[in-house]
């Protein structure tokens, strides 16, 4: 892919015509008052250099930009570019960002991305984290954070995604990356399974080996069998509680009857005792009573002594008869009570036998609930057995596959040394142009750690932690990917002026020489936006003809900060489009 032009539907827009489809293209921002530059040589012009890159990505299917819709409503931008011998025009409006008009035909952004993923990249079908939009930023770094790390222009936080994009472009086998990623996911799945088992109140004791699942399962099975047999033998009685109530009442009646019998027996004993007491009165006592009464009553009104004796005898016989009658009456009552008790006992025995062979419905239901609990417990134990078996098998298999994958990767890296060497030697060749005495190169090592990372890829220039050297490393890495990389047909790189900030002008001069030496001869395109003051600083490190042929003759656009119409949009707009 090589960029041809970027235009808009507004006359105020400064169209960008990339002068050289093969070769160098520079977009220069000219500041009215260069002395206002900060100590690092940066300017604060905001003329639209970085906006050009954002608009190129916009036309190439980037995510929606709310700021474009808000600040540039009614605008549309068109990027013309070439892939092989085919020219493409991609037009996208700020108000309808879910569609792109490609060569006059409106298609969805998703279809657009799928089309150019096929045209620009060779992504193995078996991979899951590679896409057109994840790879394109290696060639057109889209934002400020893209210049923080050489290997992460998307500024993503997923190490796996960083690794697989770099691996593809460096020509490494990404299927090995995908393989380790899947194995690691399987390991995580197994770990989650273990966590699930550990959190289950029933199963965690088994898992922690506080209980033996086999023995516990056998006991539960026996309990279930016993309970099922009990339930089969049970007879449900709807009147269970009524019968039980009657039985209780019968028991009480029997006890009451027994108490009455005791009372009657005591009364009979008392009668017997009374009968033993003789009511006999001696004759002299009768006579004494007679004399005492004769002084009060007249003789006619008194009975004779013989009459009294007869009276007394009559009285005694009546007493005996009354006691016997009473005793007989009590004996009959006693007999009736005993008969009643015997009947009650028969009734109670019948009811108790009934209750012994029958059960109330709610009791049966409770037993069925208990049976269900036991079966659930048995099912959990069986599930534990199944899970633990699968866990053990999966764990063993995954660990074997992990080792096999690591071994396979090591064999692969040994075989792919020449492929890796071609890129690392070129990176080293470029970096040596800037820092002849620095240790530099790209290393690829087999990562055998318990993680998702298959390759440990490191592009290194000694002391590259300083910003200037870090930027040079980004430049060397991107040029290496462009010229010596794999699996792409993106024949251009577009760098922002951020690449040059904090970089020594002598190194920037060398950068231009390298571009002049490699880009055109390789048939590629390189685009760089930069500030005039950066050119001014680098000028003294280039010969006049070098400055003229490498830089001046390749400037395709100049933007100025003096007036709005000199800026890219031709109007003054402040917006955050990153």
> pLDDT of 121-180, one tens digit each?
999 998 888 999 999 999 999 999 999 999 999 999 899 999 999 999 999 999 999 999
Read off the tokens for 438.
Answer: 């620095």
* Residue 206 pLDDT: 66
DSSP assignments along 138-151, one per residue: GTB--SGGGGT-TT
Q: What is the mean pLDDT of residues 267-275?
A: 90
What is the spatial distance between Cα 570 and Cα 325, in angstroms, rounded to a whole number? 140
DSSP assignments along 272-294, one per residue: HHHHHS-----HHHHHHHHHHHH
35 vs 495 pLDDT, higher one: 495
| Strand 23-30 with 555-560, pairing | parallel
| Region of residue 359 (left: phi > 0; alpha: psi -120 to 50; beta: else) | beta
- Among 121-130, 199-208, 323-332, 449-458, the minimum mean pLDDT is found in 199-208
- Among 63-77, 275-289, 296-310, 371-385, the minimum mean pLDDT is found in 296-310
Model confidence, pTM? 0.71
Q: What is the mean pLDDT of residues 238-251?
A: 86
Instruction: Provide the pLDDT confidence category of residue 239 given band limits of 50, 70 and 90.
Output: confident
497 vs 213 pLDDT, higher one: 497
pLDDT at residue 380 is higher than 90: no
Instruction: Provide the pLDDT confidence category of residue 238 given band limits of 50, 70 and 90.
Output: confident
* Residue 209 pLDDT: 64
Residue 150 phi, psi dihedral angles, 5° rounding: -60, -35
Share of the chain above pLDDT 90, in %: 63
pLDDT at residue 427 is higher than 90: yes
DSSP assignments along 356-389, one per residue: HHEE-HHHHHHHHHHHHHHHHHHHHHHHHHHHHH
92 vs 391 pLDDT, higher one: 92
| Region of residue 48 (left: phi > 0; alpha: psi -120 to 50; beta: else) | left
What is the spatial distance between Cα 452 and Cα 174, in angstroms, rounded to a whole number? 12
Read off the tokens for 99.
Answer: 């569609």
Residue 141 phi, psi dihedral angles, 5° rounding: -65, 120
Instruction: Provide the pLDDT confidence category of residue 414 given band limits of 50, 70 and 90.
Output: very high
Read off the tokens for 537.
Answer: 């600083």
* Residue 40 pLDDT: 46
DSSP state of 63: P
Q: What is the mean pLDDT of residues 89-111?
A: 97
* Residue 425 pLDDT: 94
Q: What is the mean pLDDT of residues 280-293?
A: 64
* Residue 189 pLDDT: 85
Q: What is the mean pLDDT of residues 332-344?
A: 93
Write the CA distances from 105 to 100, 111, 228, 254, 345, integer angstroms. Answer: 8, 12, 74, 105, 104
- Among 83-87, 98-102, 271-275, 503-507, the minimum mean pLDDT is found in 271-275
170-217 pLDDT tens trace: 999 999 999 999 999 888 888 887 777 767 766 667 666 667 777 888
558 vs 279 pLDDT, higher one: 558
* Residue 307 pLDDT: 73
* Residue 464 pLDDT: 58
Q: How many CA atoms lie within 13 A of 214 on its CB side?
A: 1
Q: Compute and round to an integer the Cα radius of gyration of the chain.
A: 55
Read off the tokens for 419.
Answer: 């492929």
For the chain, the average pLDDT equals 88
Closest CA to 6 of 80, 92, 97, 60: 80
Closest CA to 474 of 235, 138, 169: 138
533-574 pLDDT tens trace: 999 999 999 999 999 999 999 999 999 988 999 999 999 888
Strand, coil or helix: what is 18?
Answer: coil
């Amino acid at each position: 892919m090589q960029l041809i032009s970027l235009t808009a539907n507004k006359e105020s827009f400064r169209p960008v015509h990339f002068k050289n489809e093969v070769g160098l293209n520079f977009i220069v921002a000219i500041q009215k008052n260069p002395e206002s530059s900060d100590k690092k040589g940066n300017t604060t012009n905001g003329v639209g250099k970085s906006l050009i890159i954002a608009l190129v990505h916009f036309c190439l299917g980037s995510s929606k930009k709310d700021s474009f819709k808000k600040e540039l409503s009614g605008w549309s931008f068109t990027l013309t570019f070439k892939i092989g011998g085919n020219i493409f025009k991609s037009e996208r409006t700020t108000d309808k960002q879910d569609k792109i008009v490609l060569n006059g035909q409106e298609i969805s952004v998703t279809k657009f991305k799928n089309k150019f993923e096929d045209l620009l990249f060779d992504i193995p079908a078996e991979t899951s984290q590679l896409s057109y939009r994840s790879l394109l930023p290696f060639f057109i770094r889209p934002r400020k954070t893209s210049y923080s790390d050489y290997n992460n222009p998307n500024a993503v936080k997923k190490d796996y995604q960083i690794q697989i994009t770099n691996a593809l472009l460096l020509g490494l086998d990404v299927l090995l990356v995908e393989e380790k990623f899947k194995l690691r996911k399987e390991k995580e799945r197994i770990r989650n399974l273990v966590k699930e088992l550990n959190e289950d109140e029933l199963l965690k004791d088994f898992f922690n080996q506080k209980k033996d699942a086999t023995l516990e399962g056998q006991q539960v099975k026996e309990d279930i069998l016993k309970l099922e047999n009990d339930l089969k033998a049970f007879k449900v009685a709807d009147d269970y509680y009524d019968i039980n109530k009657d039985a209780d009442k019968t028991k009480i009646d029997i006890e009451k009857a027994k108490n009455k019998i005791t009372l009657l027996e005591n009364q009979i004993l008392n009668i017997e005792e009374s009968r033993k007491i003789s009511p006999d009165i001696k004759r002299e006592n009768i006579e004494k009573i007679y004399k005492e009464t004769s002084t009060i009553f007249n003789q006619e009104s008194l009975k004779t002594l013989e009459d009294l004796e007869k009276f007394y005898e009559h009285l005694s016989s009546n007493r005996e008869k009354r006691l016997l009658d009473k005793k007989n009456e009590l004996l009959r009552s006693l007999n009736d009570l005993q008969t009643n008790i015997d009947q009650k006992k028969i009734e109670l025995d019948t009811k108790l036998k009934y209750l012994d062979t029958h059960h109330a419905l709610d009791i049966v239901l409770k037993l069925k609930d208990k049976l269900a609990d036991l079966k659930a417990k048995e099912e959990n134990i069986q599930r534990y057995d199944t899970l633990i078996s699968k866990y053990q098998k999966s764990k063993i298999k995954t660990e074997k596959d992990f080792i096999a994958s690591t071994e396979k990767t090591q064999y692969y890296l040994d075989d792919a040394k020449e492929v890796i060497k071609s890129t690392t030697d070129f990176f080293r060749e470029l970096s040596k142009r800037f820092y002849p005495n620095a240790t530099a190169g790209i290393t690829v090592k087999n990562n055998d750690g318990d993680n998702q990372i298959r390759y440990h890829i490191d592009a290194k220039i000694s002391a590259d932690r300083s910003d200037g050297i870090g930027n040079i490393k980004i430049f060397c890495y991107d040029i290496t990917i462009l010229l010596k990389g794999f699996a792409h047909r993106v024949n251009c790189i577009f760098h922002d002026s951020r690449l040059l900030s904090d970089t020594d002008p002598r190194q920037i001069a060398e950068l231009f020489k390298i571009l002049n030496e490699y880009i055109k001869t390789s048939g590629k395109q390189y685009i760089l936006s930069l500030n005039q003051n950066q050119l001014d600083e680098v000028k003294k490190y280039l010969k006049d003809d070098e400055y003229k042929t490498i830089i001046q003759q390749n400037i395709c656009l100049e933007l100025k900060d003096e007036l709005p119409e000199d800026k890219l949009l031709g109007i003054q707009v402040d917006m955050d489009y990153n």
